[in-house]
A and B are shown apart, each in its own frame.
Chain A
Amino acid sequence: MDCEAVERSLSLYIEGELSREEEEAVERHLKTCSGCAELLDLMHEVRGTLSTLPSPEVSEPMKEKLYGIPGRKRTIRLFLEYLFRPSFQPIVAAAAILLVLLSFIGFHTDRSLVIQALDRQVHWGFSQVEQLYAHADSLTHALGGYTGDVLESLKKIPLFDGNNEKETAF
């Protein structure tokens, strides 16, 4: 048995788990190899020391936290059940869509382009509304003092009168 083979067998030798033949082979080597004999002593020391390492007690506040875990988990489960009940689903769906849109804007590589495009669309919408107001204003202005008369005439047109045919018959 060489040093490498003895090193591989040292733990089992210490714990008495080798066969009689293997044990004798290790002992023969140890008698002639001071390096391996020293390693054996050190391994005994390591084993002995490991068994004396401190094992601190679990503190009371820590235990309290551990006792509280099932309750905490139950609260989370109830909250999730409340959040995902059927009547909340449209809100959850809307929130998910909003989140996807926001993340699309937030994580898009050309974020500035997306923001510019959005900006253009919003401004276009505003300008359309402004144009509509401007048309309404110009119409009111063109009519001038006749606005009242025009409205009065419009009222007299029997467009929505159900007795229209009856009146023409007379």
Chain B
Amino acid sequence: MLVDAYSQRIFNLAYHFSGSREEAEDMTQEIFLKLYTALAKYDFSKNFDAWLMTLARNHLIDQYRRTKWEKKSRDALDEFSLAAEPRSGPEERILSREIQTIIWEGFNHLSPDIRLALILRDIQGKKYDEIAEIMALPLGTVKSRINRGRLQLAKILKQRKEQGHGL
């Protein structure tokens, strides 16, 4: 069933993109509503995964433009859900959590297209050509956007380290 197969992936995409669990739940529902409407138009010769992710991407970007999420703060990261190194000590865990928080909040400084490309690549582990298909962009543009996103986050991290946020 579609819900079992895709809800987790869509929900996580919306969650990492918006930074809010509540927003992500609303958007997942809206994306599934759109999916059931658009299914009749689905061309079976196309890759369903990419088609669905494109539908999700379009919805997320449209919502972003309408509501301007960058003005909103992101949910605090739940410390119990953070994946810490099992063998790391308490100090390393605190440090790792601080860096995660900086990166998490740093997402709000990225443009929607760069943010989405980075989520697809570095969180969802998609290949560059898959991302290019989802985002309907040339491969070179996708590579360049992902590099820009990583650079922006690296510079934010550097700045916060220089400001001495316990890092």
Interface residues of A (CB under 8 A from B): 7-12, 38-39, 42-43, 45-47, 49-59, 62-63, 65-67, 69-70, 73
Among candidates B12, B78, B151, residue contacting A39 with C-beta atoms closer than 8 Å: B151
Q: Which residues of A contact B144 (CB under 8 A)?
A: 8
**Judging by beta carbons under 8 Å apart, are A52 and B81 in contact?**
no
User: Would you give the shortest CB distance from A19 to chain B, in whole angstroms?
Assistant: 14
Most-contacted residue by chain A among B144, B146, B153 (CB, 10 A): B153
Q: Judging by beta carbons under 8 Å apart, are A54 and B99 in contact?
A: no
Task: Check A43–B21 contact: CB distance below 8 A.
Answer: no
Q: Which of A50, A55, A58 contacts B122 (CB 8 A)?
A: A50
The answer to whether B16 has its CB under 8 Å from any CB of chain A is yes
Question: A50-B123, A53-B123, A58-B7 are known contacts. Are A8 and B104 too (CB-CB below 8 A)?
Answer: no
- What per-residue 1/0 map shows which CB atoms of B132-148 lie under 8 Å from chain A? 00000000000110110
How many chain B residues touch A (CB < 8 A): the figure is 42
Interface string of B31-43 (1 = CB under 8 A from A): 0110011000000
Which of these, A10, A57, A66, contacts B32 with CB under 8 Å? Answer: A66
* A43 touches which of B3, B32, B150 (Cβ 8 Å): B150
Query: Which chain A residue has the least Cβ–Cβ distance from B144?
Result: A8
B3, B29, B158: the one contacting A38 at CB < 8 Å is: B158
B157 part of interface (Cβ distance < 8 Å): yes
Q: Which residues of B from 114 to 167 have beta carbons under 8 Å from A?
A: 118, 122-123, 125, 143-144, 146-147, 150-151, 153-155, 157-158
Q: A9-B147, A54-B83 are in contact. List 12 more A-B contacts (CB 8 A).
A: A12-B147, A46-B122, A46-B157, A50-B118, A50-B153, A52-B82, A52-B83, A53-B77, A53-B100, A55-B12, A58-B28, A66-B29
Inter-chain contacts of A8 with B (CB < 8 A): 144, 147
* Contact present for A43 and B151 (CB under 8 Å): yes
